[in-house]
């Protein structure tokens, strides 16, 4: 007897739920650049996903347009896991920030569509609320300690229960996390990369004084965080962690670059200051050793840079086995779409730790109308069906892409360093 001919994926898809009939990439710059993927199904439902990669936006846009969109048309919009695997395995060239941001954009849009189809907020599909709201931390910074304390006070006044503190370092031309003018701090700020000059030795002398000043003024009830932004060697990071122990940080972030995951062993041996890392990670393999050896306390991966909701759930489940909590990256360079999706993830995931929240400017908020809200130190994703964030395409078209770069850093002798 003759075997019946195998159906192609496309044929199977046509017998099932809604098919993807359109997928479009929208690049807009309402204050800063964002890459959005909008997917529409044969039922007329659409979903949106964030694919923004700060300073490399058009690489993701081209990847999506040329290499992903043609494969999406005709696929069953319900098969999120299958589409994820298709794009990940199917690329052959696995991982990497561009690929994973593109996959994240598709994945987030498909979860949005599925939740809209179910007429539920996304967190319900992910298992429902694990908590009342999402604790977020904000950024306080200053050109000196007085200004920093002012900034902390303003954020406490707004209701934040957790604050990241960054300050200009005496004798250092440019510290990370401090604005260059009067406006709010925005990382990508140059039409070519601005060159900053950095001294780790001066920073290490100053950082304990900074934390002491803030603790003396605000006491120990406020959660304090600090970002080392990849600038220390492991032994420098170990010594900073040790010197900050008495100030009981919520975490010390990106103490040293983590391409070499073993580097964190050395830091861990010397200090009980909690460690967070992973905002530049894009896959579970980037944190496999860090998590399984319990070298960190918080994993900073986020929806847009780590393969979407699907892959973030996998990372979180793995981290949960080892007592590592989530602490997703949430600067202005993730779009409100990523922020919305992240909040649904945060609300549902058992080992949630904290979520970063750096508010967007008014133009960005207008281009991306959203259901999420901040109240009394917590964020709430809202009850709209889907992830609750949309894009106003007409308005978006009024803000064309502008090439913008993150700065680069040099040491005082002119050597290139990590920014
Ligand atoms: C953070 C980050 C950011 C990055 C930025 C780079 O902890 O929020 O370190 O501010 O510098 O995301 O694009
Ligand atoms: Mg950081």
Summarised one tens digit per residue, pLDDT across range 223-267 is 999 999 999 999 999 999 999 999 999 999 999 999 999 999 999
Ligand nearest to the CA of 184: 1
Concerning whether 139 is annotated as a catalytic residue, the answer is no
- Look at ligand 1, atom 9, and give the residue with the nearest C-alpha: 229
The pLDDT, as a whole number, for residue 146 is 98
Of the residues 155, 226, 229, 370, which is catalytic?
Answer: 229
Q: Which residue lies with its CA nearest to atom 10 of ligand 1?
A: 331
Read off the pTM: 0.95
- Residue-averaged pLDDT of the chain: 96
What number is the average pLDDT over the span 75-95? 97
Per-residue model confidence (pLDDT) at position 186: 84
CB contact at 8 A, 384 and 371 = yes
Q: Angle at which helices 308-321 and 97-117 pack, to 10 degrees?
A: 100
* For residue 44, pLDDT beyond 80: yes
**pLDDT for 140 beyond 90:** yes
Q: How far is CA 416 from CA 72, 77, 190, 406, 419, in A?
A: 42, 46, 18, 14, 9
Q: How far is residue 176's CA from residue 231's CA, in Å, rounded to a whole number?
A: 10
Nearest to 389 by CA among 12, 108, 26: 108
Kindly state the greatest CA–CA separation across the chain.
85
Q: Is the pLDDT confidence value at 3 over 70?
A: no
pLDDT over 90 at 8, yes or no? no
Question: pLDDT grade, residue 23 (50/70/90)?
Answer: very high
Q: What is the Å distance from ligand 1's center to 187 Cα?
A: 7
pLDDT recorded at residue 207: 98
Question: Across residues 62-83, what is the average pLDDT?
Answer: 98
Which ligand 1 atom is at minimum distance from the Cα of 176? 11
Ligand 1 within 6 A of 356 CB?
yes
- Residue 187: name the closest of 354, 24, 44, 53 by CA: 53
The closest residue, in CA terms, to atom 3 on ligand 1 is 331
How far apart are the CA of 216 and the centre of ligand 1, in A? 27
More confident residue, 328 or 12: 328
Position 120 pLDDT exceeds 90: yes
Q: How confident is the model at residue 274 (pLDDT cuts 50, 70, 90)?
A: very high
Is 229 assigned a catalytic role? yes
Q: At what angle do helices 80-90 and 97-117 cross, to 10 degrees?
A: 170
Ligand 1 neighbourhood includes 406 CB (under 6 angstroms): yes
Assign 184 a pLDDT band (cuts: 50, 70, 90). Answer: confident
pLDDT for the residue numbered 17: 82
| Nearest Cα residue to 61 out of 328, 403, 406 | 403
Cα 64 versus chain centre, distance: 19
Cα 167 to ligand 2 centre (Å): 14
Residue 411, C-beta contacts closer than 8 angstroms, at least 6 positions apart = 197, 198, 199, 200, 417
> Is pLDDT at 181 greater than 90 in this prediction?
no
Q: What is the pLDDT of residue 80?
A: 98
Supply the residue whose CA is at minimum distance from atom 12 of ligand 1. Answer: 331
Structure confidence at residue 303 (pLDDT): 98
């Amino acid at each position: 007897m003759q075997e019946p001919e195998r159906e192609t994926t496309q044929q199977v898809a046509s017998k099932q739920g809604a098919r993807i009939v359109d997928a479009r990439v929208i690049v807009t710059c309402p204050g800063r650049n964002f890459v959005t993927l909008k997917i529409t199904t044969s039922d007329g439902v659409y979903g949106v996903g964030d694919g923004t990669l700060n300073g490399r936006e058009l690489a993701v846009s081209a990847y999506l347009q040329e290499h992903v969109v043609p494969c999406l048309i005709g696929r069953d919009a319900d098969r999120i896991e299958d589409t994820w695997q298709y794009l990940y395995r199917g690329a052959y060239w696995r991982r990497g920030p561009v690929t994973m941001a593109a996959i994240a954009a598709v994945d987030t849009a498909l979860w949005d569509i599925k939740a809209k189809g179910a007429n539920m907020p996304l967190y319900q599909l992910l298992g429902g609320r694990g908590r009342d709201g999402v604790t977020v931390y904000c950024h306080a910074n200053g050109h000196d300690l007085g200004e920093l304390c002012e900034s902390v006070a303003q954020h406490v006044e707004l209701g934040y229960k957790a604050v990241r503190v960054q300050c200009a370092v005496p004798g250092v031309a440019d510290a990370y996390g401090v604005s260059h003018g009067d406006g709010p701090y925005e990382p990508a700020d140059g039409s070519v990369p601005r060159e900053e000059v950095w001294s780790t030795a001066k920073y290490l002398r100053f950082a304990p004084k900074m934390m002491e000043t803030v603790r003396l003024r605000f006491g120990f009830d406020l959660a304090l965080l600090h970002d080392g932004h990849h600038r220390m060697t492991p032994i420098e990071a170990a010594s900073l962690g040790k010197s900050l122990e008495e100030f009981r940080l919520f975490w010390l972030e990106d103490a040293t670059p983590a391409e070499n995951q073993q580097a964190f062993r050395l830091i861990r041996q010397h200090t009980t200051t909690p460690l967070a890392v992973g905002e530049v990670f894009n896959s579970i393999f980037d944190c496999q050793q860090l998590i399984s050896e319990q070298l960190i306390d918080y994993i900073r991966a986020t929806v847009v840079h780590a393969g979407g909701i699907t892959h973030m759930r996998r990372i979180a489940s793995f981290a949960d086995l080892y007592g590592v909590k989530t602490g997703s990256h949430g600067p202005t360079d993730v779009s409100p779409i990523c922020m919305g999706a992240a909040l649904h993830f945060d609300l549902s995931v058992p080992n949630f730790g904290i979520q970063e929240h750096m508010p967007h400017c008014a133009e960005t908020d207008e281009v991306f109308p959203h259901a999420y809200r901040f109240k009394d130190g917590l964020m709430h994703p809202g009850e709209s069906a889907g992830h609750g964030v949309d894009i106003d395409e007409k308005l978006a078209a009024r803000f064309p892409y502008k090439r913008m770069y993150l700065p680069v850093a040099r040491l005082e002798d002119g050597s290139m360093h990590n920014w």
